[in-house]
Amino acid sequence: MPTHTARSPVPPFFALPEIAFREYVRRPRDAFIGFFSVLCVLLLLATAAHAQSEDFIGAGTLYLRSDATDVVQAPRLHTDVTMKVTGIIARVQVRQRFQNSSDNWVEGLYAFPLPENSAVDRMRMEVGERVTIGEIREKVEAQKLYEQARESGQHASVVHQSRPNLFRTAVANIGPGQTVAITIEYLEIIEQQAGRYSMRFPLTITPRYIPGVTVDQGAVVTDETPVAALTAAVSPHDTAVLGDLQPTLIAPDTSSQSVSFDVDIDAGVALKDVASTYHAVKVDTHDSRTHVRLTSERVAPDHDFELAWTPQVHGEPAAALFHERTEDGDHVLLMVMPPQEDMRVSTPREVIFVIDTSGSMEGESIRQARAALLKGLASLKPTDRFSIIQFNSIFDCLFAQPVSATPDNLATARHYVAALRATGGTEMLPALSAAFAMEASGEHLRQIVFMTDGAVGNEEQLMQTIRAKLGDARLFTIGIGSAPNAAFMRKAAQMGRGTFTYIGSIDEVDQKMSALLQKLTSPVLTDIELHWPSNAAVEYAPAQVRDLYLGEPVVVVARVQGEVKGMLAITGHSSGVWMRQIPLHDVQGREGVATLWARNRIEDLLDARASGVSPDEIRSQVLPIALRYQLVTDYTSLVAVDHTPARPASEGLDSQRVPNTLPQGSAWPVATYPKTATPAELHLIVGLCLLLAAAVLFMNERRRVRS
């Protein structure tokens, strides 16, 4: 008869230590393996419980520790953007609603982008039915007013500019379950290219690489961060503001962050082809007014919003002239179209393609860049010369010097491009310096085509290099990805006497590269001069009109002292002398022209950094203009304080950074494990290793018993 082994009843939990001890005495090796395995499982469970409770509570939600409480949820953020376009000027309202879902009083800290050419001049704070209008103050003074209000328990908000397209807002004393709405307003000039108008609104931030600086991506902006950034107001781009440049990123989740758009266009004429490049929209047209809104009420802020339209007119108007008179003089905005005829010349070109292959380009961005580069190679003629430079933490040149665009060289280049991969840091400076240092033939028109997402923080150092080493070359920048650093790339192109092209989707590569290549092979309109009536004293902004390419308008903003009467003559050189005259008596009044002049004038003064002008001298010139025209700048900020106390003195205040949404198509890591004092990730790795070791010991023991 078969022998049956009776099963022992399951011992109670409190008897396990005694049984384990007996087993250890009788069979120490088996007991050790069992104890080792249980220890590993307990460690894993503890780590998972800690991560669930603190570090990884939910996708799209950021919880952070503070001294006052265990875990506090960051405020939810919803953004409503309202754009009103009149002619070629847009007034934009950005309403940010900070919703505190926690049971604590919190301070919300948020870094956000705005268009690089925006003139930020207004702010309004709403708490329930109470409305407080913001004021422009010197940056240090604005921060002190905000801190005093924060410590006194008053509702307050401050908006600082960290960079031309990057701002930081702080909102103090948001009560449990309370919503505080901050509305920021700015003005901008609508861009025009070959008769098509467009405007772009950035929605998230691509983290920037700072050469020589290691930054904790999970770092939280603390109470001290704004103070540290403001102690040297003459150098606002210091590493002290790195907390803004390295945002905490979360996956798109409209329950925690969302955006809506409402656009009203009054172009004066009927429009056609009104379309959003990256978002689904509804378009309603009535006579000369067009209303645009998203088909969804709210979308995730993970891709820049771009809207474009074309007037239903035959032929382009010769000029558009607007003015605004203030106590400081007459301010004039002029847009003039250059000749529309094709004036191509057969000058051979020497094109150096510089492509970013750093880690921030991984994913959709590197695919766009490779496609754009192949399109550029296909435009070369046998008489042209070229080379390719790729860069990440280091740079690499396909050819040490430009070579002729022969079939063999082009085939080698296409094979090189196909093998490009994104990894490492973003060391732009050595790559740009290498491009400038390549020996020029003297018989070719040198053009440097720079493809990148611009995710760097050392812009001023790069600008100094461009100004010093450009020579006779032209620098064309191509912004790649869903959220490129357009401020740096546009300014680099302006300083490099070239143009900036934005490619936000792989589907746009062919169209936008074709338009750029047409510019590269078209002659520029150079040496542009404006001749005003002799009794007018004129200050231009920008001070120098850049070179122009086929289909681009001349845009000039000026402040004029004296009567604006008579004729304005515009001259330039192409294949010959070009001239156009504009009557000054037929001008349209337009609010905002003075603000736009001040914004451009300030940008001109700040550009002097690249020429070595001292920070003190720049500050002494910028500050009076910023205060006079009420603009947010490197030296001024908007601050709003409701002097009625809101937070009881007995309640603490937790400062929480609102995360930014991961840019669409980006492979940048999402912040799932904030850097806290508890090494949860280390525990998880150790636990997995120990569990693996236990499994190996167990298998070895089984093999030993069987043998």
The confidence score (pLDDT) of residue 353 equals: 94
450-461 mean pLDDT: 78
The confidence score (pLDDT) of residue 672 equals: 36
pLDDT in tens, 464-504: 888 888 888 889 998 887 667 777 888 888 888 888 888 87
Spatial CA neighbour of 256 closest among 300, 290, 288: 300
The answer on pLDDT for 213 being more than 60 is no
The confidence score (pLDDT) of residue 135 equals: 95
Q: What is the dihedral of CA 695, 699, 705, 707, to 10 degrees?
A: -160
The answer on pLDDT for 65 being more than 90 is no
Distance of CA 656 to CAs 173, 220, 371, 456, Å?
11, 8, 41, 25
In angstroms and rounded to an integer, the radius of gyration of the C-alpha atoms of the chain is 30
The confidence score (pLDDT) of residue 572 equals: 81
Furthest-apart CA pair in the chain: how many Å? Answer: 124
Lowest-pLDDT choice from 75-89, 396-410, 571-585, 636-650: 571-585
Q: How far apart are CA 558 and CA 354, in angstroms?
A: 35
70: left (phi over 0), alpha (psi -120 to 50) or beta: alpha
Which tops the pLDDT comparison, 218 or 308? 308
Q: At what angle do helices 28-50 and 16-26 cross, to 10 degrees?
A: 140
Q: How far apart are CA 588 and CA 322, in angstroms?
A: 5
The residue whose two tokens read 């919703």 is 99
Task: Report the relative pairing of strands 179-189 and 89-99 from DSSP bridges.
Answer: antiparallel
Give the helix/strand (H/E) hosting 414.
Answer: helix 407-418
The answer on pLDDT for 707 being more than 70 is no
The confidence score (pLDDT) of residue 26 equals: 52
The confidence score (pLDDT) of residue 585 equals: 75
Which parts of 215-300 fold into alpha helices (H)? 224-230, 242-245
C-alpha 269: how far from its chain's center?
Answer: 33
pLDDT in tens, 316-359: 556 678 889 999 988 999 887 766 555 555 678 899 999 989 88
Q: Which DSSP state fits 56?
A: -
The residue whose two tokens read 């009149």 is 86
Confidence of residue 62 (pLDDT cuts 50, 70, 90): very low
Which tops the pLDDT comparison, 97 or 3? 97
**DSSP E strands: which ranges in 87-139?**
89-99, 106-113, 119-127, 130-133, 135-138
> Right CATH number for 67-312+631-661 from 3.10.450, 2.60.40, 3.30.390, 1.10.3210?
2.60.40
The answer on pLDDT for 230 being more than 50 is no
CATH 3.10.150.10 given to domain 349-520: no
pTM of the entire structure? 0.71
Q: At what angle do helices 364-378 and 509-520 cross, to 10 degrees?
A: 40
The confidence score (pLDDT) of residue 71 equals: 46
Q: Where are the domains of the chain?
A: 13-55+681-706, 67-312+631-661, 349-520
Confidence of residue 123 (pLDDT cuts 50, 70, 90): very high
